[in-house]
Amino acid sequence: MTTGSRLSSEGLDGRRKRVLFRCWHRGTKELDLIIGRFADAHLIDLTDADLDQLERILDVPDPELYAAFMGEAATPADAAGTVFDRIKAFGAASPSQ
């Protein structure tokens, strides 16, 4: 199982480079795979408002965030929004590796 980005940070602006790194270095492999794969697929196309929301999601502690993605807990208020919903749907649709 690979747990590294397939998106090159070359050509990304500084903010997107930092976000990509944070998406793949959560601290738990499960969240790395959920959020990291989403970032690989969609980071380039996210708007500034989407990036703001993604950064708020990345600030949520791992256990709370994972439980919310798995539907075992409510979505944290700071993380709620379209980007959270997109990540959750993406994770559910993505095959495990």
> Residue 9: what pLDDT?
64
Q: Is the dihedral of CA 76, 82, 87, 93 positive or negative?
A: positive
Which pLDDT score, from 0 to 100, does residue 68 have?
96
Domain range enclosing 62: 14-93
Alpha helices in 25-61 (DSSP H): 29-42, 48-58
Is residue 1 situated within a structural domain? no
- pLDDT tens, the chain, 97 aa long: 444 666 666 678 899 999 999 999 998 999 999 999 999 999 999 999 999 999 999 999 999 999 999 999 999 999 999 999 999 999 877 655 4
Q: Which amino acid is at 92?
A: A
Q: How many residues does the chain have?
A: 97
What's the number of domains the chain is made of? 1
Angle CA(80)–CA(83)–CA(86) in degrees, nearest 5?
A: 110
CATH at 50: 1.10.150.250
Q: Is residue 67 part of a domain?
A: yes
Is residue 71 in a domain?
A: yes
pLDDT at 12: 83
